[in-house]
Structure 1
Amino acid sequence: MQSKLIHEADGQKTYAIVLASGDEAMASLKSFAQAEQLSAAGFTAIGAFERAELAYFDWETKQYRAIPVDAQVEVASFTGDVVLGPDGEPAVHAHAVLGLHNGSALAGHLQRGIVRPTLEIILTESPSYLRKRLDPESGIPLIDPGKA
């Protein structure tokens, strides 16, 4: 993983983060967020994975259902946020749309993505912070704007 601060003004920072073949996208973003002590950021990315795991949140069971993707795919869309989790640590939440060789697509919550050959991420940190709280209805941590 390589990164560079490409813009800074009024407390807002924008980084370019480039992942290489073999890097795992979610672990790399988590590591970057911890190293930079991010508390509120948004990101987008494009690139490709050699394999990935998406997930779908099943409302009835309140569990994520794995969607294994065991193929080379284009990362057509990859967007998400970094906020402070209930434990005070940066939490990365991302969704992706992955394009298959035949032009069809799979989408969902990104659990893991092994990069091949690259993933190019633009991440913008906000000067304020956001926190997540455990939502009792869904059982998952959601951003609580009242804690900003």
Structure 2
Amino acid sequence: MRTTLLTDGPPRQHAVVFDTGDEVVDGLTGWAEQQDLPGSSFTGIGAFSSATVGYYDLDEQEYAEIPVPDQVEVLTLAGDITRDGEGGWQVHTHVVCGRRDGSTVGGHLLRAVTRPTLKVVVTTGASHLQRRHDPASGLALIDPDAS
């Protein structure tokens, strides 16, 4: 993974480029922690050699995993980076992947391996965003009052 500052802002923009074999969610989370990023959002395009996306089952309060074992194009990658409420970082990402036959699969990105590249532009805000556990959904949701 390679990074560069695109604009010094505000807001700041960073280019984060993943290379073949890089794991996306862990890589982005580690980089955010290293940079001590304030509230951030991102978009990206590229390709994966494999991925796992999830569909959140509200009744079960867990993600149903959808394996994507094939080479796919990343048609849309979008998300945010926040504090997780326990001092760590949470990368929340949704993705739409295009298959060879033109069909698509999408959902919450749980894991993905880059091949050959993934280009992500991260835009950082002025303050941290914080998540809080929501008992009704079982999710950690952004709490603007805690930021």
Where on the TM-score scale, by shorter chain, does this alignment land: which range?
A: over 0.9
**Cα drift, residue 140 of structure 1:** 1.0
- Are the aligned partners of 1:83 and 1:90 in contact in 2 as well (CA < 8 Å)? yes
Residue 75 of structure 2 corresponds to residue 69 of structure 1: no
- Are the aligned partners of 1:20 and 1:117 in contact in 2 as well (CA < 8 Å)? yes
Match of 2:129 in 1: 130
Where do 4+ consecutive residues of structure 1 move more than 3 Å? none
Any idea what SS the aligned residue of 1:28 has?
helix
Letter in 2 for 1:9: G
Match of 1:19 in 2: 18
Any idea what SS the aligned residue of 1:9 has?
coil
**Cα drift, residue 35 of structure 1:** 0.8
Letter in 2 for 1:58: D
Match of 1:47 in 2: 46
Match of 2:59 in 1: 60
Letter in 2 for 1:110: L
**Cα drift, residue 74 of structure 1:** 0.3
What is the TM-score normalised by the length of structure 1? Answer: 0.97
Cα distance between partner residues in 2 of 1:65 and 1:45: 24
Any idea what SS the aligned residue of 2:108 has?
strand
- RMSD of aligned residue pairs (Cα, Å): 0.8
**Cα drift, residue 9 of structure 1:** 2.1
Aligned residues: 147
Cα distance between partner residues in 1 of 2:2 and 2:44: 14
Unaligned ranges ≥5, structure 1? none
**Cα drift, residue 143 of structure 1:** 0.2
Cα distance between partner residues in 2 of 1:81 and 1:35: 16
What is the TM-score normalised by the length of structure 2? Answer: 0.97
Letter in 2 for 1:124: T
Letter in 2 for 1:49: F
Match of 2:7 in 1: 7
Unaligned ranges ≥5, structure 2? none
**Cα drift, residue 39 of structure 1:** 3.0
Any idea what SS the aligned residue of 2:8 has?
strand
Match of 2:138 in 1: 139
